[in-house]
Structure 1
Amino acid sequence: MHILLVEDDKVLAEGVSQMLRGQGMLVDIAHTGNDAEYIIQHQKFSALVLDIGLPDIDGLEVLRRLRSGANLLPVLLLTARDGISDRVRGFDLGADDYLVKPFSTLELVARLKALVRRSSSRSDEIRLGKLVLDPQTKRVSVQDHAVDLSVREWNILEYLLQHESRVVSKQQIIDAILPYGEDITINAIEVYVSRLRLKLTDASIIIRTIRGFGYMLEEQKA
Structure 2
Amino acid sequence: MTTKSLIGKTVLVVEDDPKIRELLKIYLTKEGYEVSEAGNGTDAKMKIEELDPCIVILDLMLPEISGEEICRWIREDLKSMMPIIMLTAKASEKSRIQGFKLGADDYVVKPFSPGELMGRVEAVLRRTSSRCGKLSFTGFTIKPAKGQALINGEQLELTQFEFKLLHTFMNHPDQVLSREQILTFIYQNNERVVSDRTIDVHIKHLREKIKEKTPKDYIQTVRGMGYKFVAI
State the TM-score, normalizing by the size of structure 1.
0.53
How many residue pairs match? The answer is 124
User: 61, 75, 90: which is aligned to 1:67?
Assistant: 75
User: 5, 16, 21: which is aligned to 2:29?
Assistant: 21
Alignment of 1:198-213 (within 5 A): none
- Counterparts of 1:80 and 1:116 in 2: how far apart (Å)? 23
* Aligned residue identity for 2:17: D
Unaligned 5+ residue runs, structure 1? 124-135, 137-222
Identity, % of aligned positions: 40
* Aligned residue identity for 1:80: A
Greater RCO (CA < 8 Å, at least 6 residues apart): 2
- Counterparts of 2:92 and 2:115 in 1: how far apart (Å)? 24
RMSD: 1.7
State the TM-score, normalizing by the size of structure 2.
0.51
1:54 paired with 2:62, answer yes
Alignment of 1:17-166 (within 5 A): 17-68=25-76, 69-120=78-129
CA shift, 1:84, in A, is 2.6
CA shift, 1:121, in A, is 5.1
CA deviations 1:13-66 (Å, max 9, x no partner) are: 111111111111111000011111111111121110000110111101100010
Unaligned 5+ residue runs, structure 2? 1-8, 133-144, 146-232
- Counterparts of 1:122 and 1:99 in 2: how far apart (Å)? 21
- Counterparts of 1:11 and 1:89 in 2: how far apart (Å)? 27
1:12 paired with 2:20, answer yes
* Aligned residue identity for 2:38: A
- Structure 1 stretches of 4+ with a deviation exceeding 6 A read none
* Aligned residue identity for 2:21: A
- Report what 1:139 is aligned to: none
Residue aligned with 2:13, SS: strand
- Counterparts of 1:36 and 1:27 in 2: how far apart (Å)? 13
